[in-house]
Amino acid sequence: MGARNGLFFNTRVMDFFLHCSRLLFCHKQVATAVTTKASSVIPFFPVYCIGLYKIMEEKGTHETPIMHQDRIYRDMIYGNNPEYDEIGRLRPDSWELDSDTQAKTKELILKLNQDNFNTDLTAYDLFYKEFSNLSGFMVDGYVEQEVTIDELKALKY
């Protein structure tokens, strides 16, 4: 049994026991494409993201990983807008998988080359910023200040 099938089997077993004890049920979800340190090294994934993010940004549906998790909990688990597929998984990736979004993303990706991938044609700047944010760089609201070693030594714990 593969990892995915094992996950689905185990969550169905947990659903059964939780249902029998009149508790809640397990939520299984399929998440959307997000910028992480791991996803950024998957072949072609960054190219897909810079196209997808551009289209979703234009439509007002682009989410950072934190925004995505917030929507899952606020709207789907604890809210009134859950979106489930035919086997009972939450589908917060429905915005990404929208047929119009996918068609426009594919069309955009086919236009990309080494001369235009980091221009306004794509969301390269957004992908780069989100990736940098993972390590604490390019964070909105951060103000760099000159600090001397004596000022650091004077800090009280």
Average pLDDT estimate for 55-83: 92
The pTM score is: 0.75
Mean of the per-residue pLDDT values of the chain: 86
Average pLDDT estimate for 94-100: 94
Residue 6 pLDDT exceeds 90: no
Joined tokens for residue 85: 């597929």
Nearest alpha-carbon partner for 55 in 84, 77, 32: 32
Eight-state DSSP code of residue 55: H
Average pLDDT estimate for 85-99: 88
Provide the percentage of residues in the chain whose pLDDT is more than 70: 82
Residue-level pLDDT at 33: 84
